[in-house]
Structure 1
Amino acid sequence: MFATLRRLAEQSSDHLAHVESPYPLRKVWPPDFTKLPPQSQFRFEKKYKRRLALKAARPRWDKAVKLTQYTSITIVVIYMCFHEFEFFGRPYRPVDAIADKFKSIIGTEPEPRPEQPKPSAATPSK
């Protein structure tokens, strides 16, 4: 416990080392904005905003959030395409309409076959 207190006391004395430094500071920070011209104020604001944006940037988190959002949106859209709705009492699946349109475009939908006359029971078969 006493070692911890001693370390804290040493850290607090090191914290103010720049005040007692033999090397004077070139600039006072933060500057007094009331004494600065508007152009210098703007320059300091831009510098502060840039540093704040760099500090607040979290590329891995942003990428994970985007990936999660896009994945959930894709899952919902696919679910809605394959879900069976009921319009005016008739079942409806959006995928069926899309598939029918695609089949008619590429020509894979089978043509209706002409009806063959069925042999009647009165005519004897050979």
Structure 2
Amino acid sequence: MSAMGFINRLLGRKQSQLPPFDFARNRYPAKKTWPPNLRELTEKQQFHFERKFKRRTRLKSIKPTWNKWTKIVQWSLISFIIVHGVFFYDFSTDPMNPTPGKQPFQGLRDKMWAILGNFYTQKPSTIGVGDRGERRTELMSSPRAGVEAFDDVSPTAK
């Protein structure tokens, strides 16, 4: 059994019932031999052959979807690294920093946090609720506030 037959058997495919291809009895022979022997061609034919097939391989290698997504991933990574480095990375402890202990983008960071500082966090003063276990500042009017109107109504009285 050939290697291909063994693989087909493993994959659950039936072995081909067609006889193996016979190139000598091909009904559709190629017009030119492939690959051509470049030593038999003239310089002009060699040049023409090389230009034609370089162009064909170049056209074949263009993959617009791959190029598009590669650009998107590259620019996303570049922008993430720049934003992280400028706004969040701690340069003061970096051993490669030429000025140890200083943040090179501190002015820019201060401006950003002045604009966005309250956007990402909430302080208890903005929420209006005290800490857990803290006493209320004003007393409740009645422990049953809002439910007195329903005291006299009985569901079976209708």
TM-score by length of 1: 0.54
* Contact residue 85 and residue 93 of structure 1 kept, 8 A: yes
Q: Say whether residues 1:78 and 2:86 are aligned partners.
A: no
Identity %: 29
Q: Report matched runs for 1:45-124 at 5 Å.
A: 45-83=50-88, 84-86=90-92, 88-89=100-101, 92=103, 94=105, 96-97=107-108
Aligned residues: 92
Name stretches of at least 5 consecutive residues in structure 2 with no aligned partner.
1-8, 93-98, 112-158
Give RMSD over aligned pairs. Answer: 3.2
Q: Distance in 1 between matches of 2:29 and 2:21?
A: 20
Contact kept, 8 Å, 1:82 with 1:94, in 2: the verdict is yes
User: Is the alpha carbon distance of 1:85 and 1:37 closer, same or farther for their aligned partners in structure 2, counting shifts above 3 Å?
Assistant: same
CA distance in 2, matches of 1:24, 1:79: 63
Q: Distance in 1 between matches of 2:43 and 2:65?
A: 37
Q: Which has the higher helix share?
A: 1
Stretches of structure 1 that go unaligned for 5 or more consecutive residues are 101-126
TM-score, scaled to structure 2 = 0.45
* Cα contact 1:82–1:93 (8 A) shared by 2: no
- Give the match for residue 15 of structure 2: 4
